[in-house]
């Protein structure tokens, strides 16, 4: 599943993947998966689909380890996204593949990508941070959903 502008109220049939959704001043990101890990990984894909023109152009050249924890699963998803944004900004990298393990309210993961290049990746939207606006991690119709609104 790729980018889909379907709003949260219109979700009828869910399938694993990712999507973005409109929000008044910002943009929502949503990951869906058979497991909570897959939902977090797909949520990260939704994030980077905003940052670059085409996720498939990101080569798997470098791996970055990421670990975070929070008070609940929703906070953990927001922390995961904010960690990705921070590493991307500090190291001028973009990521297109992710692998995470979630244990209670802790996450250890790997983001795989490369140095950002305007010529290769284009310039999407600058994402400043993940917020708790419309943030949720829940199981619905057999799929895990992880979402939040990002400040752009």
Q: What's the domain count of the chain?
A: 1
Residue 60 lies in a domain: yes
**Structural domain containing residue 45:** 23-151
Asked if residue 10 is part of any domain, the answer here is no
SS3 85: helix
CATH number at residue 88: 3.55.10.10
With respect to residue 11, please indicate whether it lies within any of the assigned structural domains.
Answer: no
- What pLDDT score was predicted for residue 13? 67
In a domain, 14, yes or no: no
- Tell me the torsion sign for CA atoms 91, 64, 98, 96: positive
In-domain check, residue 146: yes
Query: How far is residue 123 CA from its own chain's centroid?
Result: 17
Predicted pLDDT of residue 23: 74
The whole-number pLDDT of residue 27 equals: 95
Q: Would you give per-residue pLDDT tens digits along the chain (152 residues)?
A: 444 433 344 445 678 899 988 877 799 999 999 999 999 999 999 999 999 999 999 999 999 999 999 999 999 999 999 999 999 999 999 999 999 999 999 999 999 999 999 999 998 999 999 999 999 999 999 999 999 999 99
Rounded to two decimals, the pTM is: 0.88
Q: What is the distance between the alpha carbons of residues 68 and 55, in angstroms, rounded to a whole number?
A: 24
**Residue 15 is assigned to a structural domain of this protein:** no
Residue 12 lies inside a defined structural domain of this protein: no
Residue 12: per-residue pLDDT:
56
- Residue 97 domain flag: yes
């Amino acid at each position: 599943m790729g980018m889909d502008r379907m709003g949260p109220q219109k979700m009828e049939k869910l399938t694993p993947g990712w999507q973005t959704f409109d929000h008044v001043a910002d943009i929502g990101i949503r990951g869906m998966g058979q497991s909570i890990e897959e939902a977090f990984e797909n949520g990260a894909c939704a994030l980077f689909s905003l940052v670059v023109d085409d996720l498939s152009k990101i080569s798997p050249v470098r791996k970055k380890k990421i670990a975070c924890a929070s008070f609940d699963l929703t906070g953990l998803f927001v922390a995961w996204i904010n960690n990705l944004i921070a590493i991307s900004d500090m190291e001028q990298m973009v990521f297109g593949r992710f692998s995470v393990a979630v244990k209670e309210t802790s996450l250890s993961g790997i983001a795989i990508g490369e140095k950002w290049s305007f010529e290769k990746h284009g310039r999407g939207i600058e994402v400043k941070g993940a917020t708790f606006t419309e943030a949720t991690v829940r199981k619905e119709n057999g799929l895990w959903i992880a979402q939040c609104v990002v400040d752009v």
